[in-house]
Chains A and B, each alone.
Chain A
Amino acid sequence: MGVIAIQETPLHVLAVDDSNIDRKLIERLLKTYSYHVTAVDSGSKALEFLGLQDVENFQSFSSNQETDVNLIITDYCMPGMTGFELLRKIKESKSLKDIPVVIMSSDNIPARISRCLEEGAQEFFLKPVRLSDVDKLRPYLSKNERKTTNDDDDDDNDDGDDDVEGWSDEDEQGRSDEDERGQAVSMDQSS
């Protein structure tokens, strides 16, 4: 048996959403599972909390600072930095890339969903998020996942496809940012 530090502290989820209603909701949902929750209203605040400065090409990161965040759940449509951009920055960071990231969106856009999953998101939840969705987070938040030298559990989410709810090839709804470019268009609207 390897040495596994018994963690007394609850698992910590960082929730990112510019809607205060959705923040309240996700916070309550997560707390039903006794997770410790930090909720912020923007991608840049999330990065700040995680210890990364939100400067375009700023990659260096103080190795003294350890984040205790076990999972990040973020809205997709946010002013300033989208959830996709936040995901990208996290995956590009040596110190943060192993933290599982989940994206939430009220829009059922297949291109968006696959783009996020390809970029490394573990799950994509359609809003409104429900308890049954939060239940799917448990494998990413089990105590075993807390080892920093995680070998097999934080790579491709092979069995995650069926977790994408309502994924269809229907027309896009509302958001005009979806095109063939494999990158998020900067959401400069106030969403």
Chain B
Amino acid sequence: MELNHIMRQSKFTRNSLFEQGYLDEQFTQLEDLQDDANPNFVKEIVTLFFSDSTRLIRNVETALESYPLDFCKLDDYMHQFMGSSSSIGAKKVKEECTQFQECCKARNGQGCIRAFQRVKQEHATLKRKLETYFQILKQGAKTSKVE
């Protein structure tokens, strides 16, 4: 009984991540790559993304403190950020990165700072939501072993 509840919960959580636009099709691609031989692929690559992107965020923060702003460098960081967001299907994060890049192109420093706040926000939100999701999955895996 408990397993059914957990399964429903994980399905619901997963669906809302897609419906609310946090994740896109690419995440499904990652799930398809997970199998018995690679049982933790999704979690591993997502974990890699968050450790990588945390580093990038720090770099951007440092770059935003310099004067004058090096838009080329900022754009470059965002390009990397966008690339890895895209690779894991982090839809909203990717969208905010695009906004940031637009501000870089326009050499709009204030715009960059604002856009970056949104990038960080979406990044943090996604991290929280995926952590919750993985917790549920883990619970499901444990419970199914017991039953």
Binding site for B on A (CB under 8 A): 19-22, 24-25, 28-29, 32, 77, 106, 127-128, 130-131, 173-176, 189-191
Which residues of chain B are near A32, meaning CB under 8 Å? Answer: 33
A-binding residues in B (CB < 8 A) = 26, 29-30, 32-33, 38, 41, 44-45, 48-49, 52, 72-73, 75-80, 82-84, 86-89, 101
Of chain B, the residue at the smallest CB distance from A105 is: B83
Q: Determine the chain B residues whose CB is within 8 A of the CB of A191 once the complex forms.
A: 76, 79-80
Q: Do residues A21 and B73 form an inter-chain contact, with CB atoms below 8 A?
A: no
B128 to chain A, nearest CB (A): 20
Given A22-B84, A24-B45, A127-B86, A190-B33 contact (CB < 8 Å): no
Can you list 28 A-B pairs with a CB-CB distance of less than 8 A? A19-B80, A19-B84, A19-B87, A20-B48, A20-B52, A21-B45, A21-B49, A21-B52, A21-B84, A21-B88, A22-B84, A24-B44, A24-B45, A24-B48, A25-B30, A28-B38, A28-B45, A127-B83, A128-B26, A130-B29, A131-B29, A131-B32, A174-B78, A174-B82, A176-B72, A189-B73, A190-B73, A190-B77
Is A21 a contact of B76 with CB atoms below 8 Å?
no
A128, B48: Cβ atoms closer than 8 Å: no
CB distance from A108 to the nearest CB of B (A): 12
CA A176 – CA B107 in complex, angstroms? 14
**What is the bound-complex CA distance between A75 and B97, given in angstroms?**
20
Which residues of chain A come closer than 8 Å to B38, judged between CB atoms? 28
Is B84 within 8 A of A189, CB to CB?
A: no
How distant is the Cα of A29 from the Cα of B84 in the complex, in angstroms? 16
A128 CB contact (under 8 Å) in B29, B52, B73, B79: B29
Is the CB–CB distance between A29 and B33 below 8 Å? yes
Q: A106-B82, A174-B101, A191-B80 are in contact. Are A21 and B75 (CB under 8 A)?
A: no
Task: State the Cβ distance, B80 to closest chain A Cβ, in Å.
Answer: 6
From A22, A175, A189, B87 is in contact (CB under 8 Å) with A22
Enumerate the 8 nearest inter-chain pairs by beta-carbon distance, A residue then B residue, closest first: A189-B76, A21-B84, A128-B87, A106-B83, A28-B33, A191-B76, A128-B26, A21-B87
Name the residue of chain B whose CB is nearest to the CB of A17: B83
Does A25 lie within 8 Å of B45, measured CB to CB? yes
- Complex contacts, B32 vs chain A, CB 8 Å: 131
A34 to chain B minimum Cβ distance, whole angstroms, is 11
**Which residues of A have CB within 8 Å of B86?**
106, 127-128
Bound state CA distance, A29 and B45, in angstroms? 13
Residues in B with CB closer than 8 Å to A173 are 101
